[in-house]
Amino acid sequence: MTPASPSDVRALALAVFAANGRLVSAGNELVAHLGLTSAWWQVLAALRYAPAPLTVASIARTMGLTRQAVQRIVDLLAERALVDFHDNPHHRRAKLVGLTPAGADAVAGAERAVAPIDLAIAERIGAPRLHDAIATLQEMIALITERLDPSPITSHEKDA
């Protein structure tokens, strides 16, 4: 196997940036009829696939967004009754955010809207390459986090 070079890493990073931009713009286009944006859908999906309600800080960490950006989105989603807030037994001020039935319906509608593109991507790229891409990106995230986060912070400390 030929070793990767820094220019290979840069090319991958640029491809990720381009893919992210295209995913966001396509998402906006595909879910607009549901009254959603890609950012709203991203937060709703984070909640949909979490095993339990999450704090705003947890959503932000999971999605690679700022806590402030997620807080603005969550507040808008709450105004539209797509999410609601629950007391957090681990932290008095950091409420837990959960999907409402309307929020679950919105996520399901978004997933139906993108299903044809998801299927086309799966068919063209195939499961092994998709799994390799996922593993590669997860490993990149872990390495960047190790290098840039000065010390591990517990969930409780970050949510404060």
Quick: pLDDT tens for 18-61: 999 999 999 999 999 999 999 999 999 999 999 999 999 999 99
What is the pTM for the complete model shown? 0.82
Those residues with Cβ within 8 angstroms of residue 41's Cβ, 6 or more apart along the chain or in another chain: 27, 31, 106, 107, 110
CA 31 to chain centre: 16
More confidently predicted of 138 and 91: 138
Provide the token pair at 87.
Answer: 């007391």
Q: Which of 27-41, 95-109, 142-156 has the lowest mean pLDDT?
A: 142-156
> Domain boundaries in the chain?
30-159
Q: What is the 3-state secondary structure (H, E, C) of 114-155?
A: HHHHHHHHHHHHCHHHHHHHHHHHHHHHHHHHHHHCCCCCCH
Distance CA 108, CA 103 (A): 9
Distance CA 137, CA 131 (A): 10
CA 49 to chain centre: 10
Q: Give the pLDDT of residue 110.
A: 97
- 154 pLDDT higher than 60: no
More confidently predicted of 78 and 148: 78
Q: Give the pLDDT of residue 160.
A: 47
Q: Give the pLDDT of residue 151.
A: 63
DSSP letters for 81-113: TSEEEEEETTEEEEEEEEE-HHHHHHHHHHHHH
Beta-bridge mates of residue 91:
88
Q: Give the pLDDT of residue 113.
A: 96
DSSP letters for 51-86: SS-B-HHHHHHHHT--HHHHHHHHHHHHHTTSEEEE
Provide the token pair at 22.
Answer: 């295209």
30-159 is classed in which CATH architecture? Orthogonal Bundle (1.10)
